[in-house]
Amino acid sequence: MANEIISEQVASWEEMMLLYNSALKKMQTKLEILNDEFQHVHQYNPLEYVKTRVKTPDSIAKKLKRHGKEITMENMVDCINDIAGMRIVCSFTTDIYRIADMIGRQNDITVISVKDYIRNPKPSGYKSYHMIVTIPVFLSDKTEQVKVEIQIRTMAMDFWASLEHKIFYKFEGDAPDYISSDLRDCSEIVSMLDDKMRQLNEAIQEAKTKQEEG
């Protein structure tokens, strides 16, 4: 009997992971199509690269414990929104909002929540645009709505976030004040760089248009 229960749990877990992986594949295909269309219409490619990942069982269990939840399949699905994660990296801040808008207008995607850490950065200096969406995954006998967390940021923001994660991992989340302060300063420098690069890109596009018209 115990073996049957364990087999059942393993089967349920494997099916759940299949759903999350399938949701990410479907999102990735959508983004490739949207990127190709954008390039065709505007002669410009807004995406630099896309990364996806599914949380490990260990990471899921730790997150449920932090939230005081029992480790069950039901709690995993209901309480954790970022089991399937997608990071979209763009060249410019304006691309972030374009891509978020394109995703939101897909008729089979439902946007559950949005957190704009670009206009409202975290106290640490972290900047990114977060969306929780659901996307349907069609199986042979049913359709499941699966949650995906999407993070959209520039290359400069991604560089900062990656270093911040490594630094705080070394200090186990308790970095000295001077390091936290320096990271916040670096975040401001990243914002200035992003803004300058955006202005430069706009100036290039304007000069190109004038050249073509002339």
**Pair type for strands 84-90 and 47-54:** antiparallel
Q: Is pLDDT at 104 greater than 80 in this prediction?
A: yes
- CATH value at residue 47: 3.30.460.10
E strands in the chain: 47-54, 84-90, 110-116, 129-138, 143-154
8-state DSSP, 83: S
Confidence bin at 107 (pLDDT 50/70/90): very high
Residue 169 belongs to a domain:
no
The pLDDT of residue 32: 94
Q: Is pLDDT at 7 greater than 70 in this prediction?
A: no
Neighbours of 130 (CB within 10 A): 18
Residue 66 belongs to a domain:
yes
Token pair 């059942």 in the structure block, residue: 8
DSSP class per residue in 88-148? EEESSHHHHHHHHHHHHT-TT-EEEEEEETTTS--TT----EEEEEEEEEE-SS-EEEEEE
Arithmetic mean of pLDDT, 144-158: 96
Number of domains in the chain: 1
CB 96 within 8 A of CB 90: yes
The pLDDT of residue 193: 94
| Active site residues per annotation | 149
Residue 210 belongs to a domain:
no
What is the percentage of the chain residues whose pLDDT exceeds 90? 55
Residue 27 belongs to a domain:
yes
Closest to 152 measured CA to CA, from 101, 209, 200: 101
Closest to 194 measured CA to CA, from 102, 101, 119: 119
Residue 185 belongs to a domain:
no
CB 164 within 8 A of CB 156: no
118-150 tens-digit pLDDT:
999 999 899 999 999 999 999 988 999 999 999
Q: Mean of the per-residue pLDDT values for the chain?
A: 88
CB 52 within 8 A of CB 28: yes
The pLDDT of residue 171: 63
Cα distance between residue 47 and residue 26, in whole Å: 17
CB 54 within 8 A of CB 76: no
Residue 32 belongs to a domain:
yes
Residue 101 belongs to a domain:
yes
Residue 81 belongs to a domain:
yes
Token pair belonging to 150 = 């999407």
Range of the domain at 56: 2-157
